[in-house]
Chains A and B, each alone.
Chain A
Amino acid sequence: MSTETWKFAPPYELPQWPFVAPPDLGAGEPIRYPVVIAGGGLAGLTLACDLALRGVRAVVLDEDDTVGVKGASSRGICYAQKSLEIFERFGIYERIREKGITWSVGRTFSGDDELYAFNLKDDSHSEQPPFINLQQFYLEWFLVDRIVELGGTDLRWKSRVLQVEEEAEAVRVDVETPAGRYTLEADWFIDATGANSRIRSDLGLEVHPSRSTDRWCITDVRFKVPVAAERWTWVDAPFNEGRSVWQHLMADGVWRLDYQMAEDCEPDTISRPEVAGARLRQQFGPGVEFEFVWIGPYQYRDHLLENFRVGRMLFIGDSAHVVSPFGARGGNNGIQDAANLGWKLALVLQGEASESLIDSYQAERHAAAVENLTVCRRTARFLAPRSPAEHRIRRAVCTLARRHEFARRLANTGRMAQANAYPPSAWAKQGSRSVQNVAFEGTNLMRCLGRDNRFLGLAVGADAAALASLDALAALFPIDFRGVEPTSPLAAHLGVERGTVVVVRPDAYVAATLAQATPDAVAAAMRDALGVDERERLAAVA
C-alpha cells in the first residue's frame, strides 16, 4: 500500500463578470433584438464576436458569470488551424499563441514501439499552425474580453433561458435573472447551450444519442519531466494494462493524461487520487514529482440533431452535434458552426441576402457534422474493440504497422480536425472548401477579409482594365476585388491560373472558382452564394 501523499494544485483563477439589470426588466412590452444567443461557451461567444465584427449587436444570455464549467477542468484542449484563423480575424490569435502550446507532431505507439508519427505542418500553408493546445476556458475568456473591447454586444450574465416560443416573425424568450424574470423577442434565436440543451429537449427535438461503454479517466497534472510538446497516443500501453493512453501538453505547464479504463470499472474508484497517482507512477516511474490539477472520469457519447434550423431558431455547437473526443472535432466544429452562420445572419439582417441563405447553414454544417460523426465513430471503434475478433484485427494492424506504411494508415488514434469541405448546393454549385490563411503580397487572407461583411474576389493575374470591370460589381454585391499574381503562394494554394477569379466568402470558404471569369459569371456566382436575384436584392436594399 502506497503511503504517498498527493498534492493538488490551487484551482485556476478565472474572471467573473457582474450581472447588470437589463432595460428589459420592468419594460412593458418585450424589447425586440436582431440576434439572441443562449449560451456563452465556445460556439456562442464565437458567434457573438463574429457578429460584432460584422456590425450586428447580439444579446448573449449565459446562466453563469464566468467561463468554463463549474467544478470541472477544461473540456476542449486542441484548437485547429481553421479555428485559429477565425481567431486571427477576430484579433485574438496572438493572445492564444502566447498562452497556448503550438504543436504539429503526433506519435502513435503500440506496446513499447512507435508505430508512426505525423507532422501536420507538412500540409500547411497558413500563417497559423496546425494546432494550439489551450484550456477551453482561456479561449472563452479571451473571446469575452474581445467582445467587450469591440463593444455593441450585450453580454448578460446570470441569465437563464426558461422557455422559448416561436411566433410568426420572431422568437419569444423568457429569461430568469437574479433581479427577476423578463421576456424578450428575437428575430433570430441561437441555442448554443451545449450537449444537454434544455431548450432543445423542451422543444421535443430528437438527437438520437448513443452512449459508449468505453470508459476513460482524465488526469491533468503539472510535473517536471522532460516530455515533448507533441501529441502522443498509445493504442495499448504496457503501463495501462494494455489499454489506450493520451498525453498532451496545455498552457501553464499542465499535462492532460487520458487513460482508457476497463469497461466495468467504478468511476469513483478510478478517479481517487491514490488510484490515479498509481497510474501515473506506472507511466512515469516512482521518482517523478507532480501535482494534480484535475481528475475526471467520463464516458463519451454522440448525438446529431436532424435540423439545425427550426424556423427562426438555430442550433450551433454541442447542442446540434456531439462526437467522441478523438481528433478534436467537438469544440472546433462549434467554432466553425458559428463562423459559418455569422456572416449569413449579418447579410440577411442587413438586407443583402435572401432569408433562404440561412438554410445553407443546415446544408453545410449538418453535412460536416455527419462527416465528423463518421470519422470519430471509426476512431472510437479502433480504440475500443468489441470482440476478440476485433482485438485480433487491431493486433494484426499494429504488428504490420511496425514494418509497413500501408498498415500505419489503418491504425486510427484520431483523424485530426480539418475544415470540412461542403457538398455542392444551390449556394455553391461546385461545393465549397476552406482557404488557408496564406500570406501573399505583404498581407494575408484574414487581413483581407477584415472586419466588413464582404466577399473577396481574388482575380488572378488581372490587369487594371479587368479589375476595373470587376469593381463595378462591388456596387451591386457585397464583394471587393483584389488582383493576385499568378506566381503568388495564394494562387498556388488555390491551384488556379491567370484569368481565374476565386470568389471567397466572408468565412474564407470558396463560393466559386471561375476560370476565364467575366463580370457576368462573377455576378451569377454572387447571386447563387447569397441565394438572391438582383431585383430581389435591390428591392430589399431600397
Chain B
Amino acid sequence: MTTSRPQAMRTDPNIPDADGFYEALVAAHEGLSDEESNDLHARLVLLLANQVGDQKVLLACIAEARQDVAERPQR
C-alpha cells in the first residue's frame, strides 16, 4: 500500500477543455463594472479554493500568484 503524500501544486495542464473554460470565465464578466468583476473574482477564488481543499496546495497557489507582482514588502 502506498501512503498518500500531500499533492504539490499542479502546473501541468489539468483543465479538460481549456478554451471552453476560458470562454465561460470571460463570459461571466460580460456587462459588469470593474467593481462587480472584481467581486466576482473574489467569490470565484473562494469557491475554487474549497474545491482544492488542500492547505499546502492553496498556500503554494497564493505564493505562485504573488510571484508576478513587482517586489514589495508584504505587511
Q: Could you list which residues of chain A lie within 8 angstroms of chain B, going by C-beta atoms?
A: 386, 392-393, 395-397, 399-400, 404, 406-407, 410
What are 22 A-B residue pairs whose CB atoms fall within 8 Å in the complex? A392-B38, A392-B39, A392-B42, A393-B42, A393-B46, A395-B39, A395-B42, A396-B39, A396-B42, A396-B43, A396-B45, A396-B46, A397-B46, A399-B39, A399-B43, A400-B43, A400-B47, A404-B50, A406-B50, A407-B46, A407-B50, A410-B46
1/0 contact string of B36-67 vs chain A (CB within 8 Å) = 00110011011100100000000000000000
Query: Please, how many angstroms separate the alpha-carbon atoms of A393 and B75 in the complex?
Result: 17
In the A-B complex, list the 6 residue pairs whose CB atoms are closest, starting with the nearest. A396-B42, A396-B43, A406-B50, A392-B42, A393-B42, A396-B46
Q: Is the interface of A mostly helix, strand, loop or mixed?
A: helix
B38 to chain A: which residues have CB within 8 Å? 392
Query: Please, how many angstroms separate the alpha-carbon atoms of A395 and B41 in the complex?
Result: 12
Query: Please, how many angstroms separate the alpha-carbon atoms of A30 and B45 in the complex?
Result: 67
Shortest Cβ distance from residue B48 to the other chain A in the assembled complex, whole angstroms: 11
Query: Please, how many angstroms separate the alpha-carbon atoms of A300 and B63 in the complex?
Result: 31
B42 to chain A: which residues have CB within 8 Å? 392-393, 395-396
Shortest Cβ distance from residue A214 to the other chain B in the assembled complex, whole angstroms: 15
A406 to chain B: which residues have CB within 8 Å? 50
Query: Please, how many angstroms separate the alpha-carbon atoms of A397 and B46 in the complex?
Result: 8
* Closest A residue by C-beta to B47: A400
- Most chain B CB within 10 A, of A395, A396, A397, A406, is at A396
* Closest B residue by C-beta to A387: B75
A386 to chain B: which residues have CB within 8 Å? 75
A407-B46, A410-B46 given; 14 more Cβ-contact pairs under 8 Å? A392-B42, A393-B42, A393-B46, A395-B39, A395-B42, A396-B42, A396-B43, A396-B46, A397-B46, A399-B43, A400-B43, A400-B47, A404-B50, A407-B50
The answer to whether A400 touches B46, judged by C-beta atoms less than 8 angstroms apart, is: yes
A410 to chain B: which residues have CB within 8 Å? 46
A407 to chain B: which residues have CB within 8 Å? 46, 50
- Most chain A CB within 10 A, of B38, B45, B46, is at B46
Shortest Cβ distance from residue A35 to the other chain B in the assembled complex, whole angstroms: 43
Which residues, 4 to 47 on B, are CB-close (under 8 Å) to A?
38-39, 42-43, 45-47
Query: Please, how many angstroms separate the alpha-carbon atoms of A407 and B42 in the complex?
Result: 12
B75 to chain A: which residues have CB within 8 Å? 386
A395 to chain B: which residues have CB within 8 Å? 39, 42
Shortest Cβ distance from residue B20 to the other chain A in the assembled complex, whole angstroms: 24
A400 to chain B: which residues have CB within 8 Å? 43, 46-47
Shortest Cβ distance from residue B40 to the other chain A in the assembled complex, whole angstroms: 9
B43 to chain A: which residues have CB within 8 Å? 396, 399-400
* Closest A residue by C-beta to B43: A396
B47 to chain A: which residues have CB within 8 Å? 400
Shortest Cβ distance from residue B27 to the other chain A in the assembled complex, whole angstroms: 20
* Closest A residue by C-beta to B38: A392
Query: Please, how many angstroms separate the alpha-carbon atoms of A393 and B38 in the complex?
Result: 9
